[in-house]
Amino acid sequence: MIHLATVVGARPQFVKAGPISRRMGHVVEEFLIHTGQHYDWSMSGAFFDEGVLRQPDISLGIGSGSHGEQTGRMLEALEKIFLGTRFNAVLVYGDTNTTLAAALAAAKLQIPLIHVEAGLRCFNRSVPEEINRVVADHLAHLLCCPSHQAAQQLGKEGIQHGVHVTGDVMLDSLLDAWPDALSSAASSPWDAEQRAVLTLHRPQNVDFAEMLRLRLEQVGHLQLPVIWPTHPRSVRRLAEFRIALPANIQLVEPQPFREMLRLVATSRMVITDSGGLQKESYWLRRPCFTLRPETEWPETVAVGWNTLIGFGPDDLRAAALNWAAPPHDPGLYGDGHASEHVIRAILDELGNEA
């Protein structure tokens, strides 16, 4: 049996790890490590209480800090765990500092690394997540790609071995959660399809006062109410910069996964700088307007369900007014069984090492 360490630490990773963890069964023994990169209940505890992911075997409680400080503390703590227990591989998700630290710790100790969500690029090295995902890909032994385009990008970078196109595990998460989310959709406290949902948290959008004001001005030009489940980073910046919200924006607490799905599904549109919501909007057939000049999910733009928004005050409103549903949907990011494909790839690549 393969003895696997899964390392997660942030809200998107809990969602991605859940379906794979539930399907490992008796073929993979998983030791689940939570670094504590996200640590308050709404960003972390709710996902375990809700059953999106099982309770971790160990929680490191790293907390927040600068990129270097946070990554360094994670690296030190993970190295001690990896030295103390023999793992056949380390599994990481996405592009957070947790992913970077676990990838470095595994590589230094010569433990095979599995990277789920490999091959994504936005081609902007000023985005911290871009550095993390590039490093993880180039250290990985097994690379599980959500799309053929992601696999092709790895080939362009000289990564030829251990590459598998598995589809996107977030689709598995959505399908797992959707019956429960749909059953209670009528209890949503917001009026269906009469408003937009907003998420805004990336440093390039919220860590600079003028940029945050600009993005909120763009949202304020929309002629409909907007619900904003706020990230702690954004709340701090609003207070620090003393920014008054446009009248059409309502702040709410970060939402548990199923409630967020209901919120998206009953909204007229999604406005976001989150990678995950770009895909969930596509799967739930809601137009997405991404407050970034680039995306690591270009397929959603190519098929017409996602629009990148520039920096003009009226860019968002104009894009929303001109949007029309695409006539054709090629079916992006797999068949909803990515978790099984990832587990099969693990067994194929690492079965002899158990």
What are the residue numbers of the active site? 201
> DSSP H helical segments within the chain, as ranges?
11-23, 46-49, 67-84, 97-108, 128-139, 148-156, 169-183, 203-206, 209-220, 232-241, 257-265, 275-283, 298-302, 315-322, 338-350
- Write the DSSP string, 77-93: HHHHHHHHS--SEEEEE
Q: Could you give the 3-state DSSP secondary structure of residue 6?
A: strand
Query: Residue 119 corresponds to which tokens in the numbers above?
Result: 């091959």
Q: At what angle do helices 169-183 and 257-265 cross, to 10 degrees?
A: 80
- Report DSSP state, residue 51: T
Yes or no: say if 311 and 216 are a contact pair by the CB < 8 Å rule.
Answer: no
Q: Could you give the 3-state DSSP secondary structure of residue 225?
A: coil
Integer angstrom CA distances of residue 46 from 8, 77, 108: 15, 24, 33
- Report DSSP state, residue 31: E
* Dihedral angle computed from the Cα positions of residues 69, 297, 180 and 91, in that order, rounded to the nearest 10 degrees: -50
